[in-house]
Amino acid sequence: MRSWLFVPGSHGARIAKALDSAADAVIIDWEDGVAPADKAAARTTTAAALSALSSRRPWLRINAHGDWHADDLAAARELPLAGLVLPKAESSEFCTRLAAAGWPLLLLIETPLGVERAFDLACLPGVDWLGFGSLDYLAAIQGEYSVTGDTLNYARSRLINAARAAGLSGVVDGAFVEYRDIEGLRAEADLARRLGFDGKLLIHPGQIAPVHAALAPSASDRDWARRLLDAWEASGAGGVISLDGRMIDAPLVAAARTILLRAGEPR
């Protein structure tokens, strides 16, 4: 899934708009997107919105600690959800208890400790996706944002490697908060694609189409992948072939198949 759109759980109209959008996944937010005084009301608003809307199942970002966490879990059990999003994931024991409730989990890795434990967390039963909480992580390491990604690429690579090694469904890059800066969003989504992310967290519906376009393989990449697989299958060799003066073997075949899978053309 390429686009994961956050929507505050305290705004019923926004929930309806998000669920009607082209986002691949919607995350109703009961954590940072809701003021402390509005936490209880957000649970009621979310329940009312979901009961009145389509059968599309959203994800839910709960609060991780304290009374909010216990109350969130109790309320979540009454909702038609695709899964839970756990912020600031660090503790294997905590995540294991949460997974026991039966929901698929997306763990948001947002702290230095979470990054260092990413593989162990990814291997826990019930964990389906990893997500990068880039802004919280950047604040925690006392770093500065860079459009080139250099201050975040260590953590990004750790998460991607952990998710792949654990065989998860995928890994999602952090949100781009300057929602009016479409060119900046495209640049960051393109970087995420090149690093190996499957999707990106979004904070505004206007970010959906640019992210889908940026994460899609280019026309030239798709053409290369088709020609490579055609040549590979025609050779029947299963070893090494030559295409456009380049030696082609199994790793490049796998890369070509990934490109076409992301383009909706599985081979």
Q: Give 171's DSSP letter.
A: E
Q: Are residues 134 and 188 in the same domain?
A: yes
Give the pLDDT score at 261: 84
What is this structure's pTM? 0.88
Using CA atoms, how far apart are residues 1 and 111, in angstroms rounded to an integer? Answer: 24
Q: Are residues 175 and 243 in the same domain?
A: no
Q: Are residues 226 and 162 in the same domain?
A: no
Q: Are residues 109 and 25 in the same domain?
A: yes
Segment among 39-43, 100-104, 260-264 with least mean pLDDT: 260-264
Q: Are residues 59 and 89 in the same domain?
A: yes
Q: Are residues 74 and 164 in the same domain?
A: yes
Average pLDDT over residues 31-36: 95
Answer whether residue 167 is part of any domain: yes
Answer whether residue 267 is part of any domain: no
Q: Are residues 123 and 241 in the same domain?
A: no
Per-residue exposure over 78-104, b if at least 16 CB sit within 10 Å of its own CB, e if not? eeebbbbbbbbbbbeeebeebbeeebe
Segment among 27-36, 178-187, 219-228 with least mean pLDDT: 219-228
Q: Are 147 and 176 contacting, i.e. CB atoms less than 8 angstroms apart?
A: no
Using CA atoms, how far apart are residues 149 and 41, in angstroms rounded to an integer? Answer: 37
Average pLDDT over residues 41-68: 91
Task: Tell me how many domains the chain contains.
Answer: 2
Q: Are residues 195 and 238 in the same domain?
A: no
- For residue range 162-194, list pLDDT tens digits in order: 999 999 999 999 999 999 999 999 999 999 999
- For residue range 112-136, list pLDDT tens digits in order: 999 999 999 999 999 999 999 999 9
Give the pLDDT score at 53: 76
Mean pLDDT of the chain: 93
Answer whether residue 34 is part of any domain: yes
Q: Are 258 and 228 contacting, i.e. CB atoms less than 8 angstroms apart?
A: no
* Most confident region among 81-90, 228-237, 257-266 by mean pLDDT: 81-90
H or E element in which residue 48 lies? helix 39-52
Residue 261 tokens, joined: 């899978």
- The residue range of the domain holding 177 is 3-215
- For residue range 229-248, list pLDDT tens digits in order: 999 888 876 778 888 888 88
